[in-house]
Structure 1
Amino acid sequence: MSHRRPCLAAAVLLAAGVAAGASHAGEVRVAVAANFAAPMARIGAAFTAATGHTLKLSSGSTGKFYTQIVAGAPFEVLLSADDATPRRLVAQGHAVAGTSFTYAVGALVLWSATPGLVDPQGAVLRSGGFRHLAIANPRTAPYGAAAMQVLQGLGLAQALAPRLVTGESIAQAHQFVATGNAALGFVALSQVVVPGQDGQAPRIAAGSAWRVPPALHAPIRQDAVLLKAGEKNPAAAALLAYLQTAPARALISAHGYP
């Protein structure tokens, strides 16, 4: 279930943030899931242009961010790769109740840097014509957990277990494939697309890929939440509002998030 707030509320909050930012531009420290690092860089630039506020971005696995936040890391906004972590942080008193919403729904792809290796149906997984298959750590990275659900659903988890190469985050899993250390791997669609322009759909930048049917894994709902450290920071509230505006939504869609 989405926790998205109405666009009107977002517009009101953003307007307040712009007004405050005109004379008191601030900074917000953001922990962003690795799959969303590239879109967030573009969104951050647009946000700064609109409000005057600046971002200090850190990207990594959601599980590691959870551990750091609980331990007192001074992040003010979390852009999670799931919806469970923000709920957990709210329940434990580390995030502000009523501020979470779904900013993106992730798409998983099986990707290879080698053209023609991955077929459009993903049959390569059964062929065995590869040595290593990269995934993100399923214990700390939601995209890794989704990848394991796909392998289990296809009845291949046990057979392919010896070939798995596990990255700390989805960014590292992508790096394994991009550098050739793994022939193929499960990565986020946003990592391997050329963003769409003027309303056009994004396309795979290079190599070969199978866009995993969403029915093969639980929805990757990615929620944002205001953390306790940012509760009194107008820039943090303004960022959460901006993520719900039409310009931000257009950038998110352009990077392959349905």
Structure 2
Amino acid sequence: MNRLLIALCACLWAVTGHADTVSVAVAANFSAPMQKLAAAFEQSTGHKVKVSLGSTGRFYAQIKNGAPFQVFLAADDETPAKLEQEGLGVQGTRFTYAVGQLALWSAQTGLVDPQGQVLKTGAFPKIALAEPKLAPYGQAAVQAMTQLGLLHALQPRWVLGENIAQTYQFVATGNAPLGFVALSQVYAEGRFTQGSGWIVPADLYTPIRQGALLLNAGKDQPAAQAFMRFLQSPTARAIIRAHAYKN
């Protein structure tokens, strides 16, 4: 019995001894799928995931200043490319893990029509969007308003969120009656989960290609390397598609 107990303890030590934690900086729009991805990854590998959510622009600045993130999941592909070029990411590890979609959304039923004509009627005092200088979804919103010829008319009504998560909160709480959010935040199973919304046509903005990059801090970390592989697996891709992203 003692030998069996010792053997079991040795096996447990071997398993836990090789388990590690990967620190992932994640664009705020990707919060919901990231929770499921982390759970699936932990279950399949035994590794743990430490998730930090925020804006892509702020993460870039933090990584430049030495923040010890091991993996970066951005809301664009330009920022990971820049970090790779600047020697802060591992060459050849960058790839597009998701393509985001933009939505105009309100927590109020019936406020946003399926064609987005509410933008032209202007029957609202405020409109929320993520800070365009920091958040790719904010940049996409500006592009859409520009293409529609409404930028100058709507700009005085802007309420800017630091990232897309804060932008969503502005609209969900009624601080802004409507706003541009990530479709993944408000859409599931082929419909808006609450309120009213318009899926902004993809030809009104540059595709929101979201890039992943293994950062230098994760270069020799098994958990970080394993997470990058997992993110490209059929299991991960199915989770991402289920949250209104393309990949």
TM-score (norm 2): 0.92
**Structure 1 pair 202–247 and aligned structure 2 pair: CA distance change class (3 A):** farther
Q: In the alignment, is the contact (CA less than 8 A) between 1:82 and 1:222 conserved in 2?
A: yes
Distance in 2 (CA, whole Å) between partners of 1:60 and 1:202 is 27
Q: How does 1:179-198 map to 2 (within 5 A)?
A: 179-194=173-188
1:37-56 to 2 correspondence within 5 Å? 37-56=31-50
Name the larger-Rg structure. 2
Q: CA RMSD in A?
A: 1.1
In the alignment, which residue of structure 2 is the partner of 1:166? 160
Q: Which whole-Å deviations, capped at 9, do the CAs of 1:53-86 have from their partners, x for residues lacking one?
A: 0010000100000000000000000000000000
Q: Would the alpha carbon gap of residues 171 and 93 (structure 1) be closer, same or farther in structure 2, given more than 3 Å must change?
A: same
Alpha-carbon distance between aligned partners in 2 of 1:122 and 1:21, rounded to the nearest angstrom: 53
1:60-75 alignment, distance < 5 Å: 60-75=54-69
Give the % identical residues: 59
Q: Which amino acid aligns with 1:231?
A: K
Q: Does 1:89 align with 2:83?
A: yes
Partner residue, 1:105 = 99
Q: Matched residue of 1:186: which SS?
A: strand
* Aligned CA distance change for structure 1 residues 143 and 102 (closer, same or farther; 3 Å): same
Q: Is the 8 A contact 1:26 1:235 kept in 2?
A: yes
Aligned-partner SS, 2:91: coil
Q: Relative to 1, partners in 2 of residues 1:57 and 1:21: Cα closer, same or farther, differing over 3 Å? A: farther
* Alpha-carbon distance between aligned partners in 2 of 1:132 and 1:179, rounded to the nearest angstrom: 13
2:213 is the counterpart of 1:219: no
Per the alignment, residue 238 of structure 1 pairs with 226
Aligned to 2:192: 204
Instruction: Tell me the SS of whatever aligns to 2:166.
Output: helix
- TM-superposed CA distance for 1:202, in Å, is 4.0
> In 2, Cα distance between the equivalents of 1:181 and 1:243?
35
Unaligned segments of structure 1, at least 5 residues: 1-19, 195-200
Within 2, Cα distance between the matches of 1:74 and 1:60? 15
How many aligned positions are there?
A: 233
Distance 1:21 1:136, change over 3 A: farther
The residue identity in structure 2 corresponding to 1:252 is: I
Are 1:254 and 2:228 an aligned pair? Answer: no
CA contact (8 A) 1:138 1:145 kept: yes
Confirm or deny: 8 A CA contact 1:22 1:51 kept in the other structure: no
Is 1:124 aligned with 2:124?
no
Note the C-alpha offset of 1:125: 0.2
Change (3 A) 1:232 1:163: same
From 21, 29, 35, give the equivalent of 1:35: 29
Q: Which amino acid in structure 2 is aligned with residue 242 of structure 1?
A: F
Which letter maps to 1:211?
I
SS of 2:235 mapped into structure 1 = helix
CA offsets per residue over residues 89-112 of structure 1, 9 Å max, x none? 011111111001000000000000
For residue 7 of structure 2, what is the aligned residue in structure 1?
A: none
- Select which of 124, 129, 142 maps to 2:136: 142
What TM-score, normalized to structure 1? 0.88
Structure 2, unpaired ranges of 5+: 1-13
For 1:237 and 1:193, locate their aligned partners in 2 and report how far apart those are by CA, in whole Å.
Answer: 31
C-alpha contact 1:21 1:53 (8 A) present in aligned 2:
no
Cα drift, residue 204 of structure 1: 1.2
